[in-house]
Amino acid sequence: MRATLDQIGSIARRSIVRTLRQPGALAPTIIFPLMLFAVYSAGAETAEKLPGFPDVDYTEFAFAVPFMHVALFATGIAGTDMARDIESGFLQRLALTPIGGVSLLIGQVAGAAVMGLIAASAYVVTGLIVGVDVAAGIGGWVILIALSVCISFAFAGLGLAIAVHAGNAEAVQGAFPLLFATFFLSSFALPRPLIEVDWFRAVATANPVSYLLEGERSLIIVGWDAPALALGFGLSALIAGLALMISARLLRTRLVRT
């Protein structure tokens, strides 16, 4: 057990160092969701007047969006890093050591999770500057960051699965628009009951991204909403577990050491 934890720690340290040494990739990942947030909150203010819209500013309603966006970027970062390891042969270098597949995968997503932590912290500061009032208070800010890191971890796991399956960075980047589409087919812009188009509402209801967003949003506009938080944390754990399980299976095919 100790050896396994050491291995995870070593791979995680490398993943974090690698992520932090790519400021060119890290900065846009943090800034782009903020820009989108500015566009949403400025352009959809009229939604506040819809009957049934929560009794909050649209800025506060939309504030969960960048936290979710950064998780989507985590998919790309973790997936691309893994794909590069496969392409460069670094994975074979690791395969010559006694490291286990699951340890390798868990360690690999650490960089993306740390990126999620840095981004979420930056968004909290931004929220404080623009006057976002988090209904759950100071503890709510902390849990918001924690949930954001969990979601980033889960989506980074999806990135790994794509990378291990495809074995190249282009495939990971190609999957990114698809993930972005799942975001837009969620309750990111409006509460689900207020979505008028039936098929869109049905898709948003079936889309796990809606519940992850609503978990984060609940802290901002509702306060301590246990069911919403349980769904948010539970789904992110489920996605992470499934993604790592699939990645581990795929890794056995990719890394056929005897």
Partner 1 sequence: MRAADNSIEVEGLVRAFKNGPRAVDGIDLRVEPGEIYGFLGPNGAGKSTTVMMLTTLLPPTGGTARVAGFDIVREGPKVRRVIGAALQEVALDPYLTGREHFRLQASLLGLSRAERTRRGQALLERVGLIEAADRKTGGYSGGMKRRLDLALALLGEPRVLFLDEPTTGLDPQSRSALWEEVARLAREDGVTVFLTTQYLEEADVLARRVAIIDNGRIVAEGTPAELKAGIGDPTVEAVPHDPAQRAAAAEALATIGTPCAAPSELGVSVRLRGGAADLPAVVRALDGAGVRLAQLHLHEPSLDDVFLAKTGRSLEGAADGAEPVNPPR
> How near is the Cβ of 105 to partner 1 at its closest, in Å?
14
Those residues whose C-beta lies under 8 Å from the C-beta of residue 89, and which sit 6 or more positions away, are: none
> How near is the Cβ of 257 to partner 1 at its closest, in Å?
5
Output the CA torsion 95→97→101→102 (10° steps).
-150
> How near is the Cβ of 255 to partner 1 at its closest, in Å?
8
CB nearer to partner 1: give 25 or 135: 25
Structure tokens, 119: 């981004």
> How near is the Cβ of 210 to partner 1 at its closest, in Å?
36
- The Cα 104–Cα 248 span in angstroms is 9
CB nearer to partner 1: give 98 or 177: 98
Question: What residue ranges bind partner 1 (CB under 8 A)?
Answer: 3, 6-7, 9-11, 13-14, 17-18, 21-22, 88-99, 255-258
Q: Which amino acid is at 151?
A: I
> How near is the Cβ of 92 to partner 1 at its closest, in Å?
6
DSSP 46: G
Those residues whose C-beta lies under 8 Å from the C-beta of residue 169, and which sit 6 or more positions away, are: 79, 80, 83, 84, 87, 163
CB nearer to partner 1: give 9 or 241: 9
CB nearer to partner 1: give 88 or 206: 88
CB nearer to partner 1: give 11 or 160: 11
Q: How many CB atoms lie within 10 A of CB 223?
A: 12
Distance of CA 13 to the CA centre of its chain: 20
> How near is the Cβ of 110 to partner 1 at its closest, in Å?
13
Contacts of 41-49 spanning 24+ positions with Cβ under 8 A: 44/189, 47/189, 47/190, 47/194
Beta carbons of 169 and 125 less than 8 angstroms apart? no
